[in-house]
Amino acid sequence: MIAGDHLTILLPLKDRVPFTHRWLSYAASAPLRSRILIADGGADSTVAGMVAEKKSQGLEVEYCRYPFDSSYADYYAKIADALSRVTTPFVVMADNDDLFIPDGLTRAVEFLLAHPEYVACGGQCAVFWLADPGAAAAGDTIYGDRVEWKCSSQFSTDVADTAKQRLLERCLGANDVFYAVHRTDLLRGHFEALRDCNPRDLFLMEQLVMFLTAIAGKTRQLDTLYIARQQDSPGSSGGSHQEQFGDGTTACCCRPGRKTSRGSWTARPARCHAPTAFPPKRRGALSWSRTRCRSRRRSWPTWSRSPPCRGRCRSC
């Protein structure tokens, strides 16, 4: 069992209050025996009362109100400030549509306590979605009588002795450690760097955090269920960003093209030698083939180990 003085769950919010209510109810019933720090940058004032109610029921939660997240700079400043308030040696980032498995968090913290050379530790991911036609017809994307699941089985770890090799493994699709348990001082430094450089792409932001983590030290992905993530939950910042700008792969491997009648820019492929841009195959180079991600209708090389959707779509 994790004591509250070991781990803090940092939950950034921007509205989506029904998802927050479900997350807090799950945290109280699971239960998640760790500290919870909520950094609210939304416009809905009812969240504070909801948190106070759960706190009165025994949930160890602290609520911090921030100015509205009107820009990425506001979001990065909010996270950097919230991390400065964390007093536990370990911290984990959360979303209000994702649900941590208590035993997975316990094992991750125990691993980091026993292996000081590792900087982050996570586990296996399950993806779920509501398959209840009645709930879908009613517009309910939070609860339903029929929930379908898909679990990953990825055991790649960044355990190389040099930062150069760990970065190479990260570029080739090593395990996703953004939502892993991190050492607090290191993750705090990563978000302070993000606050200063202010990237304009949320997916690039996640990649930068994982690159900085790979530089800092080794990471581990345990063979245990660690987190359950809801697929295609509406109203997420990442989903809104992707609809408007595309994902991080598109941003890195494409340059602006012509302007459409609606005022948006179409993407024109750039000459890029990133793995997703399919560089010419040379004699003696690592062999690869293309595979389709049917939900996003794009190919990726199989040796990059994961599709652009990170396995979160139903087709993969």
As a whole number, the mean pLDDT across the chain is: 78
pLDDT band of residue 158 (cuts 50, 70, 90) is: confident
Q: Please determine, for residue 225, whether its predicted confidence score (pLDDT) is greater than 50.
A: yes
Question: Residue 235: its pLDDT value, please?
Answer: 55
pLDDT band of residue 156 (cuts 50, 70, 90) is: low
End-to-end CA distance of the chain: 34
Residue 120: CB atoms within 10 A of its CB come to 30
Percent of the chain with pLDDT over 70: 67
Could you tell me which CATH number the domain at 7-240 has? 3.90.550.10
Contact between 154 and 175 under an 8 Å Cβ cutoff? The reply is: yes
| pLDDT digit string, tens, across residues 291-316 | 444 444 444 443 334 454 555 554 44
| pLDDT: which is higher, 183 or 131 | 183
DSSP annotation of 89 reads S
Question: Does residue 159 sit in helix, strand or coil?
Answer: coil
Q: Please determine, for residue 196, whether its predicted confidence score (pLDDT) is greater than 60.
A: yes
| pLDDT: which is higher, 129 or 272 | 129
DSSP annotation of 30 reads T
Over residues 4-14, mean pLDDT? 93
Q: What is the C-alpha to C-alpha distance for residues 234 and 43, in angstroms, rounded to an integer?
A: 17
pLDDT band of residue 79 (cuts 50, 70, 90) is: very high
Spans of all domains in the chain? 7-240, 246-304
DSSP annotation of 97 reads T
